[in-house]
C-alpha cells in the first residue's frame, strides 16, 4: 500500500477483503501442502502451476480481476513457476514450428547448437537439446497437450530433495484436490496437491530413486485426455524445466510505472515537461538551498556517503559476509558462542553458520531442540553471566515464541538492575517477506523491535553492512536485534578493501547515503534500499536527482542524517515492506515533520506493504509488496505537491 495515494488506485478498487477472497479462490495452481515438518510452526510451502494450455485460458478467466494490470495472467504465473506447457500446433500453423520460447506453450527454436537459451520470467535458463531427447529425438510439440511438473522448492535456499512416494499411478485420473506425491527434503515432508483435472501421463522420477533431485527438475507429465496417456511412454525430460518455487521478488519492470493510473496522471500534467528538461523550479522554503542542487561541502554532516569503488574491489555475498564476521568474532573473543536450531551439524538453515561447528566445536556452536522460548532464555542467562551469545532464529516469525525474553529479560534487565547487569546478546535471523511462504512466515517486525527501549535494532542491506554491523553488534554491551533478509543472502556486492579487515565495524546509529541527490530523498532499510536505488536510476532518465539513505540502524536511527537530507531536497519518501500503521515510516515521518517542517515543499510520503496478512498466491504476494515502480510513481507525484 502507498499511503497518501501512490497505489491508491489499487487500495480504492481492490479492498483487503477482495484480496483475501482472491487468495482463497485462486484455482490455477498446484499447491504443496505441509504434511510433517521438523518445526512446530505452520509451514505453507510452495505453489506452482500445473494447468495445461487449454485449461489455462479458462482458469485465467476465473482468476482475472477487474483490472488486467492488477493480477498476472495464468500464462505468466506458469512462466514464473517453471511449468512448461506444450500445445500441439495445427498443420496450417506449422510455419510457427520452432518459434519463440519453450515457456507458456511456445516451442524453442531448433538449431544445430547443442544447447538453447530461453527466458523464464526475466531469468535466463540454459538448456541442453537432450532435455527432451529420445531415440526418435521427439520434441515437446510432437506430444499431445501436456504440462511438465517440476520438483518444488520449500524456500529460495533449498536446492534439492526427493520423491518419497507417489499417491497416484501412471494413467490415473487426477482431480482438483488429489494428493499427487509426497515430497521429502532434509527439512520437511510435504504433500503435493493437484488443483486441476487431468491424467497423470508419466512419472519421470520414481519414488525413492534419489534424494538429490535439483529444484526444477521435471518429475511428472500430465495430460488432458485419457486416450493420450499411452503417447507419453517414450517421453523423457532430463533437464531442469524451471524453478518451481514461488521466488517472485515483488519486482516489476520500471517501465510499467508509466502504465499505472497514478503515473499516467502525472505524465499528462504540463509540469512533467519541466522534469524531462531537468528544469525543476519549485516553491522552495529551504534557506540556503540552491535549486540547481548545489550544496555546501559539509551538508552531509559527516554521514557516510557511498563512493564508486575501484574495479578491483572485492565482492562478497551477504551470506559470506555474515559467516566471516561470526567466525572472526568467535576467534577474537572466546566468550562469543552461537545457539539455535540446526546451527551446528546442519550448518544453519540458510548456511550462515557454515563451517563454524567444525572450527569451534559443539560447545560454542550449540544445536537446540525446537524451543525458541527455551534456548532464548538460556542465552539471556548466559549473557547475564558475562558470555556473548548469538541467537539464531530460523525466521523472526519464530521469535514470537521468545519475545518475552527479548523484551522483558534482555531489554529491561540493565535498567531494572540499576545498571549492574548487562545483557550483551545478538538476536539474528531473516525478517520480512521471502517468497511463497504465506502469511505466518512473511512478516516484518522492524517496527515492533524499534519501539522497545533497551534494544538496538539493525537492518543491513549489502555485504559491507552485514559484515560491519554484525561485528559491531557482537561487540556491543547491549542486546541487539539483527534483522536480515532471506532474499539478500545470495546477493553479491562489491565492498571496500578495508571492510575485510578483522577490526572493521560500522557505528551503530549511523546511516549511509547510498546516492546523493537534490530533488527528493528516499529513506529505506534492508532490501528496500536496492529498490530505491533502482527507482532513482529510473527517475534520473527524467532529470530527477534522488538521494537514497540506507538507515542501517533503526534503533537508534540517524535522525540528523534524515533531517539534513530533507532540508536539502525538500521532499521525502520513506520505503518499507512492512505494514503502514505504526510502521518504521510512521516514526521517521513524524521526526521529519518535527525537525525539517519549514524546509519541506510537499508532505512526507510513505511506500509500504499492503495492510493485510501476506497472501500465499504468487500474484497476490507481488501485489502486496512495494515495487520500484511504486516508488517512482510516488516520487513523481510528490515533486508537484505544494507547487
* Cell numbers that stand for 13 in this block: 478498487
Higher-pLDDT residue of 159, 349: 349
How does pLDDT run across 472-499, given as a tens digit for each residue?
A: 999 999 999 999 999 999 999 999 999 9
Query: Which residue in 300, 328, 308 sits closest to 496, CA to CA?
Result: 308
Residue in 392, 441, 516, 547 annotated catalytic: 441
* Cell numbers that stand for 106 in this block: 511456445
Could you give all domains of the chain from N- to C-terminal order, each with its CATH number? Answer: 29-232 (2.40.50.100), 254-303+511-638 (3.40.50.920), 315-500 (3.40.50.970)
Higher-pLDDT residue of 367, 643: 367
- Tell me: cis bond preceding 480? Omega within 30 of 0 counts: no
Checking DSSP bridges between strand 456-458 and strand 553-555, what pairing results, if any? antiparallel
pLDDT-based confidence at 252, cuts 50/70/90?
very low
How does pLDDT run across 155-165, given as a tens digit for each residue?
A: 666 778 889 99
pTM recorded for the entire structure: 0.64
How does pLDDT run across 410-459, given as a tens digit for each residue?
A: 999 999 999 999 999 999 999 999 888 888 989 999 999 999 999 999 99
Query: Which residue in 306, 269, 337 sits closest to 516, CA to CA?
Result: 306
Residue in 372, 486, 547, 576 annotated catalytic: 372
Rounded Cα distance, 262 and 258, in Å: 8
pLDDT exceeds cutoff 60 at 173:
yes
pLDDT exceeds cutoff 50 at 25:
no
Tell me the three-class secondary structure of 269-294, residue by residue.
CCCHHHHHHCCCCCCCCCCCCCCCCC
Angle, helix 318-332 to helix 463-475, in steps of 10 degrees: 30
Specify whether 441 is catalytic. Answer: yes
How does pLDDT run across 209-219, given as a tens digit for each residue?
A: 888 888 888 89
Report the pLDDT value the prediction gives residue 239, as an integer from 0 to 100: 55
Specify whether 491 is catalytic. Answer: no
How does pLDDT run across 114-154, given as a tens digit for each residue?
A: 333 333 343 333 333 333 343 445 777 889 988 888 888 76
Q: Is 618 helix (H, G, I), strand (E, B) or coil?
A: helix
Rounded Cα distance, 627 and 257, in Å: 10
Q: What is the DSSP string of 334-373?
A: TTEEEEETTSSTT--TTSTTTTHHHHH-TTTEEE--S-HH
The mean-pLDDT minimum among 287-296, 386-395, 630-639 falls in 287-296
* Cell numbers that stand for 596 in this block: 525539517
Q: What is the percentage of the chain residues whose pLDDT exceeds 90? A: 52
Nearest-Å Rg of the Cα atoms of the chain is 26
Rounded Cα distance, 456 and 380, in Å: 15
Report the pLDDT value the prediction gives residue 495, as an integer from 0 to 100: 92
Report the pLDDT value the prediction gives residue 151, as an integer from 0 to 100: 86
How does pLDDT run across 572-611, given as a tens digit for each residue?
A: 999 999 999 999 999 999 999 999 999 999 999 999 999 9
Q: What's the chain's average pLDDT?
A: 76
| 346-355 average pLDDT score | 93
Rounded Cα distance, 372 and 343, in Å: 13
Distant-in-sequence, close-in-space partners of 39: CB < 8 Å, separation ≥ 6: 341, 370, 394, 398
pLDDT-based confidence at 45, cuts 50/70/90?
very low
Element (H, E) at 332: helix 318-332
Amino acid at each position: 500500500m502507498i499511503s497518501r495515494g501512490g497505489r491508491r488506485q489499487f487500495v480504492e478498487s481492490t479492498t483487503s477483503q477482495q484480496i483475501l477472497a482472491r487468495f482463497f479462490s485462486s484455482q490455477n495452481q498446484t499447491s504443496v501442502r505441509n504434511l510433517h515438518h521438523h518445526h512446530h510452526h505452520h509451514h505453507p510451502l510452495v505453489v506452482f502451476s500445473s494447468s495445461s494450455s487449454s485449461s489455462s485460458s479458462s482458469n485465467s478467466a476465473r482468476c482475472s480481476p477487474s483490472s488486467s494490470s492488477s493480477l498476472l495472467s495464468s500464462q505468466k504465473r506458469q512462466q514464473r513457476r517453471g511449468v512448461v506447457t506444450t500445445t500441439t500446433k495445427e498443420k496450417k500453423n506449422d510455419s510457427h514450428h520452432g518459434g519463440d520460447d519453450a515457456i507458456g506453450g511456445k516451442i524453442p527454436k531448433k538449431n544445430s547448437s547443442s544447447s538453447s537459451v530461453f527466458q523464464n520470467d526475466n531469468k535466463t535458463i540454459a538448456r541442453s537439446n537432450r532435455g527432451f531427447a529420445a531415440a526418435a529425438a521427439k520434441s515437446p510439440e510432437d506430444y499431445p497437450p501436456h504440462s511438465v511438473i517440476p520438483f518444488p522448492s520449500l524456500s529460495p535456499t533449498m536446492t534439492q530433495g526427493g520423491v518419497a512416494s507417489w499417491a497416484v499411478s501412471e494413467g490415473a485420473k487426477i482431480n482438483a484436490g488429489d494428493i499427487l506425491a509426497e515430497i521429502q527434503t532434509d527439512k520437511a515432508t510435504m504433500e503435493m496437491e493437484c488443483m486441476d483435472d487431468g491424467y497423470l501421463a508419466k512419472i519421470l522420477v520414481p519414488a525413492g530413486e534419489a534424494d538429490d533431485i535439483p529444484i526444477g527438475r521435471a518429475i511428472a507429465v500430465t495430460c488432458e485426455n485419457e486416450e493420450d496417456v499411452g503417447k507419453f511412454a517414450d517421453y523423457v525430460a532430463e533437464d531442469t524445466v524451471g524453478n518451481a518455487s514461488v521466488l517472485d521478488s515483488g519486482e516489476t519492470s520500471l517501465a510499467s510505472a508509466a502504465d499505472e493510473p497514478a503515473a499516467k496522471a502525472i505524465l499528462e500534467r504540463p509540469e512533467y515537461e519541466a522534469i524531462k528538461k531537468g528544469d525543476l523550479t519549485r516553491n522552495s522554503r529551504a534557506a540556503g538551498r540552491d535549486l540547481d542542487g548545489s550544496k555546501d561541502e559539509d551538508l552531509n554532516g559527516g554521514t557516510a556517503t557511498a563512493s564508486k569503488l575501484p574495479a578491483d574491489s572485492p565482492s562478497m555475498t551477504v551470506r559470506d559476509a555474515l559467516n566471516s564476521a561470526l567466525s572472526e568474532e568467535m576467534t577474537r573473543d572466546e566468550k562469543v558462542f552461537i545457539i539455535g536450531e540446526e546451527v551446528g551439524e546442519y550448518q544453519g538453515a540458510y548456511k550462515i553458520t557454515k563451517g563454524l561447528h567444525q572450527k569451534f566445536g559443539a560447545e560454542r556452536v550449540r544445536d537446540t531442540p525446537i524451543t525458541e522460548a527455551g534456548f532464548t532464555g538460556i542465552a539471556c542467562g548466559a549473557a547475564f553471566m558475562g558470555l556473548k551469545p548469538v541467537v539464531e532464529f530460523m525466521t523472526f516469525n519464530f521469535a514470537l515464541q521468545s519475545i518475552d525474553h527479548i523484551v522483558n529479560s534482555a531489554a529491561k534487565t540493565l535498567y531494572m538492575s540499576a545498571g549492574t547487569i548487562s545483557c550483551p546478546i545478538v538476536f539474528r535471523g531473516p525478517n520480512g517477506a521471502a517468497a511463497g511462504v504465506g502469511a505466518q512466515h512473511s512478516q516484518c517486525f522492524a517496527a515492533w523491535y524499534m519501539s522497545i527501549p533497551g534494544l538496538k535494532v539493525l537492518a543491513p542491506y549489502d555485504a559491507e553492512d552485514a559484515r560491519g554491523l554484525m561485528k559491531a553488534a557482537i561487540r556491543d554491551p547491549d542486546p541487539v536485534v539483527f534483522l536480515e533478509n532471506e532474499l539478500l543472502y545470495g546477493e553479491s556486492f562489491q565492498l571496500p578493501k578495508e571492510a575485510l579487515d578483522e577490526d572493521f565495524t560500522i557505528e551503530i546509529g549511523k546511516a549511509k547515503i547510498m546516492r546523493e541527490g537534490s530533488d527528493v530523498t528516499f529513506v529505506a532499510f534492508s532490501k528496500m534500499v536496492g529498490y530505491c536505488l533502482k527507482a532513482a536510476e529510473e527517475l534520473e532518465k527524467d532529470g530527477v536527482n534522488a538521494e537514497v539513505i540506507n538507515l542501517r540502524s533503526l534503533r537508534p536511527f540517524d535522525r540528523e542524517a534524515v533531517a539534513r537530507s530533507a532540508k536539502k531536497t525538500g521532499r521525502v519518501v520513506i520505503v518499507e515492506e512492512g505494514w503502514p500503521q505504526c510502521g518504521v515510516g510512521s516514526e521517521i515521518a513524524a521526526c521529519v515533520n518535527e525537525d525539517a517542517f519549514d524546509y519541506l515543499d510537499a508532505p512526507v510520503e510513505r511506500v509500504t506493504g499492503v495492510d493485510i496478512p501476506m497472501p500465499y498466491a504468487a500474484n497476490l504476494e507481488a501485489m502486496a509488496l512495494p515495487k520500484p515502480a511504486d516508488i517512482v510513481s510516488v516520487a513523481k507525484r510528490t515533486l508537484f505537491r505544494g507547487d
